Amino acid sequence: MIVDPAPAPPATAGATMPALQVRQLDVRYGKSHVVFDLAVEVARGELLALLGRNGAGKTTAILGIVGLVPGASGSVYVSGRSVSKLPSYRRTKGHVAYVPSGARCFPNLTVQENLELTARPAAGGWTLARVFERFPKLRELRSNQAGGLSGGERQMLAVGRGLMSNPTVLLLDEPTEGLAPVVVQGLGSLLLDLKRTGMGILLAEQNHRLALRVADRAAFIEKGRIVAEMPAAEARGSDILHRILGV
């Protein structure tokens, strides 16, 4: 009999609790252990950059938080409430939004259908009209199939899909990959705006320039373990940044 080693959940749940707490997250794919004892915390209105190279375990950690890998154990709390036992479709219903890498969308659905699919109306929250206001290009393309969009347009759509669910915490997996610099700039200012609305954001990136510009804190991941965590200002130009990302 395996005793669940997860610590007791926080005493109170609600708006004062961190947007996201992850404790002792382990992820295994069959026999290979990919993520070890991962612990992260993201406050409301805070952006945590998860920095690491390809294959360091960033994507797997995010999949574990979203509940998309069967071999994950550990605890995940959103606003202090445990979602560890919930299937992914319930974690992502208004709690956690997942913006996958590679600007993944439903290619055979229209832009508008892609956005409506994740919609979870919230008072003063994101709506189709507000997403179109923020990304006017998507309004133009609303009736087009997402599969025909450019990489940058699809990335905007992927982020827009995340916003439509009005999540407590937004998880982004390498959203700047392959984007033109001007689009990256736009994404950066969007993330700063989202922080001001109180959304908690976990940004997994290799692009440390953007990540450390918008982040409050940075966590470095190597071989599936968090090896260092520090304020973003401290991380810029640090030895560890140099060592882990080779910059």
117 counts as binding other proteins under rule CB under 8 A: yes
How far apart (Å, rounded) are the C-alpha atoms in residues 59 and 29?
Answer: 13
List 8, 12, 89, 182, residue binding other proteins (CB under 8 A):
89
Tokens of 94: 């208004």
Q: Select 92 or 176, whichever has its Cβ closest to other proteins.
A: 92
How far apart (Å, rounded) are the C-alpha atoms in residues 24 and 173?
Answer: 20
Stretch that binds other proteins, among 20-28, 52-60, 115-123, 214-222 (CB under 8 A): 115-123
Coarse DSSP helix, strand, coil percentages of the chain, rounded to the nearest 5 percent: 35, 25, 40
Tell the smallest beta-carbon distance from residue 233 to other proteins (Å).
33
Q: Select 79 or 228, whichever has its Cβ closest to other proteins.
A: 79
Binding-residue pattern over the window 187 to 226 for other proteins, x denoting contact by CB under 8 A? ----------------------------------------
**193 class by beta-carbon count within 10 Å (0-12 exposed, 13-18 middle, 19+ buried):** exposed
Stretch that binds other proteins, among 44-52, 113-121, 190-198, 205-213 (CB under 8 A): 113-121
List 98, 132, 135, 220, residue binding other proteins (CB under 8 A):
98
122 counts as binding other proteins under rule CB under 8 A: no
C-alpha closest to that of 113 among 89, 146, 135? 146
Q: What is the side-by-side order of every strand in the sheet holding 200-205?
A: 96-99, 169-173, 200-205, 47-51, 217-222, 225-231
165 counts as binding other proteins under rule CB under 8 A: yes
Binding residues for other proteins, total number by CB under 8 A = 24
How far apart (Å, rounded) are the C-alpha atoms in residues 131 and 51?
Answer: 28
168 counts as binding other proteins under rule CB under 8 A: no
71 counts as binding other proteins under rule CB under 8 A: no
List 24, 73, 82, 88, residue binding other proteins (CB under 8 A):
88
166 counts as binding other proteins under rule CB under 8 A: no
Q: What secondary structure does DSSP assign to 215-237, as a single string?
A: -SEEEEEETTEEEEEEEHHHHTT
Q: Select 33 or 120, whichever has its Cβ closest to other proteins.
A: 120
Query: Tokens 């070890």 label which residue?
Result: 36
How far apart (Å, rounded) are the C-alpha atoms in residues 53 and 45?
Answer: 26
Q: Which residues pair with 95 in a beta bridge?
A: none
86 counts as binding other proteins under rule CB under 8 A: no
177 counts as binding other proteins under rule CB under 8 A: no
Q: Select 103 or 194, whichever has its Cβ closest to other proteins.
A: 103
* Residues whose CB is less than 8 angstroms from the CB of residue 197 and which lie 6 or more positions away in sequence, other chains included: 45
Binding site for other proteins (CB under 8 A): 66, 68, 87-90, 92-94, 98, 100, 104-109, 113, 116-118, 120, 161, 165
